[in-house]
Amino acid sequence: MTAPTAEPIFVSLASGSRGNSAYLGTRDAGILIDAGISLRQIKRRLAVCGIDLSAVQGVFVTHEHGDHIHGLSVLHKHHSVPIIATPGTLVQLKRRCGCDGQPIEPNTEFIFNDWRVLAVPVPHDACQPVCFRFDLPRSLGGVSIGFVTDIGNPAPWVIESMRGVDFLYLEANHDADMLAKGPYPKQLKERVASRRGHASNEQTKQFLAGFGLFLPPLIMLGHLSETNNTPELATAAVDEVVAGRSTVCCAQQNNPQRITIATQVGMEAVL
């Protein structure tokens, strides 16, 4: 990875049921986490944050569902960089979009250039889904970033793997009451609410409570359902646990949001 010219940044490019993608690195070099929106939108949203597509040096894929890989095949065709995922996910990527990739074994530390990466299994109804922990080198402030999405319940081993991170992106998909009363068909409601589905606001609260007194300083709640949740409900649900000890915001479906993760961890204004 080329020498950084700035502190590390995290950009939520899209977050929600209609597509998910994020960027982590510096303005000059970094990675995508998932590519669930079109290449055109990835390029446009990166540019809004002052980042060119050429800065992307790899794509880490959490799992094979369409809202996480929609733009992957076109991205790979026009910008050939390593695709990194679990062996099970890679089998599905080959079948669904013709992409080969580099396997990363769950629960085994992986070095991507000078980044330390850990893929941790999550309870979700995909082939071999994972979340990621990224520990950046001293040249990037030595900060740690956790990326946890599409998790059907607050699994203790996932919480444990995220201890000590400086920034945590964490799914808060739905409000249980809104989901139960909402327009989804019964089978879809049951899938979302299952222990291998998506996290409810209450489960997100339980996840954060698992950190005890040592919460991540920065928390972004992600993958909010536009049908079954609101930013207000999601943040209210975690307020009791956070109690002002962390800065919390919600990722959006249509607008990129940039966070600067400084050595003395702090949040830049969200776009």
Question: Residue 113 — pLDDT band, cuts 50, 70, 90?
Answer: confident
The share of the chain scoring above pLDDT 90, in percent, equals: 88
pLDDT tens digit sequence for 194-211:
999 999 999 999 999 999
Q: What is the pLDDT of residue 213?
A: 87
Q: How far apart are CA 43 and CA 257, in angstroms?
A: 14
Question: Residue 6 — pLDDT band, cuts 50, 70, 90?
Answer: low
Strands (DSSP E) found in 15-55:
21-25, 30-35
Q: What is the pLDDT of residue 265?
A: 43
The 8 Å CB, 24+ separation contacts for 20-27 are 20/67, 20/68, 20/149, 20/222, 20/223, 21/68, 21/71, 22/147, 22/169, 23/49, 23/51, 23/56, 24/134, 24/145, 24/147, 25/1, 25/55, 25/57, 26/55, 26/140, 27/51, 27/55
Residue with the two structure tokens 């299994």 = 121
Residue 121 and residue 128 in contact, taking contact as beta carbons nearer than 8 Å: yes
Q: What is the pLDDT of residue 267?
A: 43
Q: How far apart are CA 105 and CA 110, in angstroms?
A: 8
pLDDT tens digit sequence for 227-258:
999 999 999 999 999 999 999 999 999 999 99
Predicted TM-score (pTM) of the model is 0.94
pLDDT tens digit sequence for 150-187:
999 999 999 999 999 999 999 999 999 999 999 999 99
Residue with the two structure tokens 């995909």 = 126
Q: How far apart are CA 46 and CA 96, in angstroms?
A: 25
Q: What is the mean pLDDT of residues 45-57?
A: 96
Q: What is the pLDDT of residue 241?
A: 95
pLDDT tens digit sequence for 130-155:
999 999 998 888 999 999 999 999 99
The residues spanned by each domain of the chain are 9-260
Strands 115-121, 167-171: pairing kind: unpaired
Give Cα 164 to chain centroid, integer Å: 17
Q: Mean pLDDT, the chain, as a whole number?
A: 93
Q: How far apart are CA 212 and CA 174, in angstroms?
A: 23
Helices (H) and strands (E) counted in the chain, each on its own, are 9, 14
Q: What is the mean pLDDT of residues 70-84?
A: 94
Residue with the two structure tokens 């980042």 = 51
Tokens linked to 109: 């530390």
Q: What is the mean pLDDT of residues 3-31?
A: 89
Q: Evaluate if residue 81 carries a pLDDT over 70.
A: yes
According to CATH, the topology of domain 9-260 is Metallo-beta-lactamase; Chain A (3.60.15)
Question: Residue 268 — pLDDT band, cuts 50, 70, 90?
Answer: very low
Residues in Cβ contact with 185 at an 8 Å cutoff, skipping those fewer than 6 apart = none
Secondary structure of residue 77 in the 3-state scheme: helix
